Structure 1
Amino acid sequence: MFVLFFVLVAATNAQETTPTVVTAVRLNGDGGQAILEVDTRGPARPHLTLLRKPYRIALDLADTVSAAKLPEPTGRIVNSLRQGLAGADRYRLLLSLSDSVRPRMEVQRDGDRATVKLELAPAPESAFVWSDGGKAPTVQAAVPPLVAPRRFTVVIDAGHGGVDRGATGEGGTEEKAINLAFAMALREVLGAEKDVTTILTRTDDTFIPLNERSAIARRAHADLFISLHADSIRYKDLRGATVYTLSDRASDALSSEIAESENAADRFAGSEWDQDAPEIHDILVDLVRRETENLTERFATHLVDDMRKAGVRLINNPKRSAGFRVLRAPDVPSVLLEIGYLSNKDEEKLLLSSDWQRRFAEILAKAVTDSLRERRG
């Protein structure tokens, strides 16, 4: 029943291409060596990730779902096997090991079928490496690359909305309106990019709970989530843009204050939204979260650099972090961007300028597209 459910759920996520199917998983060997074989119907493009403390190996297959039952480990090298989805249409097989090993992997092809063969032999700590970028050598001709590059999905979140007005500027400007104006401008600029699909969490003056905003990004299998804000704080002289990422502890007092203010938006939500999504203590989720954090940090750094080069005014130490609830999707790289601060009179005037909204959107769009295309390689 679990296998069937797993296949159905995964197949739903494969929208335009027929996914590869894992048809069998075998694990053989003794104390001298372990041999893992994964049979697929369809092309197999495996990628290895090696992890320590404890020793683990994650074998990823892109555009793949599983219809296979996992074997029970019987040797002394592999302690356990687990499988699941590590992202949209990305199958992951996780091996927990008793100690360090020397991995060797190859792909054997036979028509439209393939077998990924992973050999694990006990070895010193120094041998527990994978030096060819995670890819396996191919016994037969490699699968030709897709002709059309894949599209990226960017979810743009206009902070606040509806009963939640957000901050109010010195001149009476409501943050929720500023955020929506910038979101619409960014969507318009990104709309000219043929390989980018944009989704807005709201397109009008509507209240959306924080958890639902990140859920929208997860349902869309977004490659990036950007939450736009223009806060008001007690430091009236402070102005400039700031990029925030998620962290358990705030990087500084200002970040803590901003996060507390933004998280308070859910006071307008009903009781059904009055709790965070439950934490899933799963190593597969942990691996996805780690990859997401790395991609988030890379984009945040990219964005700060691009804004600085374009002459955008930034606060001191413009890349900061705190416990923003809206950024908690474990599988979507997410940032919160303070475009400016409505508590500063000059900044409020600038944020109201349609010319500046367009200019800022162009700078942000460039950072987005450059960062996403770097991932494609």
Structure 2
Amino acid sequence: MRPNKPAVWAMLALCAGSTRAATIAVDVGHYLAAPGATSAYGETEFGYNLALAKVVAQRLRADGHIVLLIGASGDMDNLKARPAMADGVDLFISIHHDSVQERYLSTWTVAGKTQRYSDISHGYSVFVSKDNPYYAESLGCAEAVGKAMKRAGFAPNLHHVINEAGEGYVVLDPDLAVYQSSLIVVKYATVPALLLEAGVIINRDEALTIKQPATRLRIADAVASAMRCLKP
């Protein structure tokens, strides 16, 4: 049985005017002191994650869901504390943007500065953990997000399928770019959880496309449409 929601969720449900609204935690991947990947243009992954997470949260709220935005201040360095904050919600979604391993990187010059890039990889991917107590539900929602992203015109990232990538991910559905991993925030969540790599920011074209407001809204629309995976 899923843990009872804290009293704060009951209060938020009343404020939302609907007892049928789902409670969804949207986690901003990484933090200011360790901002994750760097884009082909020298921008931090945390900045990308924060901007997209805000759009996703806004879109979910527009559909009547109750949303907890985690890590938006940029100072949350305890990764295990993130899923702990979401205990009792219906779904935990961690928002990230992808890169590649060091051996695939090349250099180029942007605005007079040397930056690193790789165009070998592009597209979205979705991760779940077999150690999550709601693995079946997590996988169902990950597949729903993968399908929605593909319907919205985004390409599944098949770079992780390549054995020599050496990343240790288990491919669950190559057509939808759904993978199994031991990423902390999905592994230690006590609710259904998934991690969305929305795109590859080390890719020169995708780094530009994915930061456009229209693209972020398309991703948010895809995520929102996938929330049918949640049971009433």
TM-score, structure 1 length as denominator? 0.47
CA RMSD of aligned residues (A): 2.4
Which consecutive unaligned segments of at least 5 residues does structure 1 have?
Answer: 1-8, 18-147, 249-287
Q: Aligned partners of 1:309, 1:16: CA distance in 2, in Å?
A: 34
**Count of aligned pairs:** 191
Structure 1 runs of 4+ aligned residues shifted over 4 Å read 9-17
1:179 aligned counterpart, secondary structure:
helix
> Alignment partner of 1:307: what SS?
helix
Aligned mates of 2:5, 2:85 — CA distance in 1: 20
Q: Match for 2:73 among 204, 211, 216? A: 204
- How far, CA to CA, are the matches of 2:182 and 2:213 in structure 1? 31
Partner residue of 1:46? none
> What per-residue deviation string (whole Å, max 9, x for no partner) do you get for residues 247-299 of structure 1?
36xxxxxxxxxxxxxxxxxxxxxxxxxxxxxxxxxxxxxxx92xx11111111
Verify: 1:193 aligned to 2:43, yes or no: no
Larger RCO: Structure 1 or Structure 2 (Cα < 8 Å, ≥ 6 residues apart)?
2
Note the 1:284-303 alignment, pairs <5 A.
289=133, 292-303=134-145
Deviation at 1:331, TM superposition (A): 2.9
> Cα deviation per residue 1:314-353 (whole Å; 9 max; x = unaligned)?
1232011111111123530000110111111111111221
Asked whether the equivalents of residues 5 and 89 of structure 2 are also in contact (C-alpha less than 8 Å), the reply is no
d(CA) in 2 for partners of 1:168, 1:175: 6
> Partner of 1:336 in structure 2?
195
Higher helix residue share: 2
Instruction: Assess, with a 3 A threshold, how the Cα gap between structure 1 residues 14 and 229 changes in structure 2: closer, same or farther.
Output: closer
Residue equivalent to 2:51? 181
**Fraction of identical pairs, as percent:** 27
Alignment match of 1:228 (pick from 95, 105, 124): 95
Pair 197,10 (structure 1): closer, same or farther in 2 beyond 3 Å = closer
Q: Is the 8 A contact 2:27 2:82 kept in 1?
A: yes
2:217 to 358, 364, 373: 358
8 Å CA contact 2:27–2:95 kept in 1: the answer is: yes
Alignment of 1:1-377 (within 5 A): 149-194=19-64, 196-218=65-87, 221-234=88-101, 235=104, 236=118, 237-247=120-130, 289=133, 292-316=134-158, 317=174, 318-329=177-188, 331-368=190-227, 370-372=228-230, 375-376=231-232
Shift of 1:11: 10
Secondary structure at the residue paired with 2:188?
Answer: coil
Q: Which has the larger radius of gyration?
A: 1
Specify whether residues 298 and 154 from structure 1 end up closer, same or farther in structure 2 by C-alpha distance, changes over 3 A only: same
TM-score (norm 2): 0.75
Do the aligned partners of residues 206 and 310 (structure 1) sit closer, same or farther apart at CA in structure 2, a change above 3 Å counting? same
**Residues 204 and 330 (structure 1), Cα distance of their counterparts in 2 relative to 1, 3 Å cut:** closer
Q: How far did 1:204 drift?
A: 2.8
The answer for the alignment partner of 1:142 in structure 2 is: none
Query: Are the equivalent residues in 1 in contact too, given 2:55–2:216 (CA < 8 A)?
Result: yes
Displacement of 1:198 in angstroms is 0.3
Residue 202 of structure 1: how far off its partner (Å): 2.2
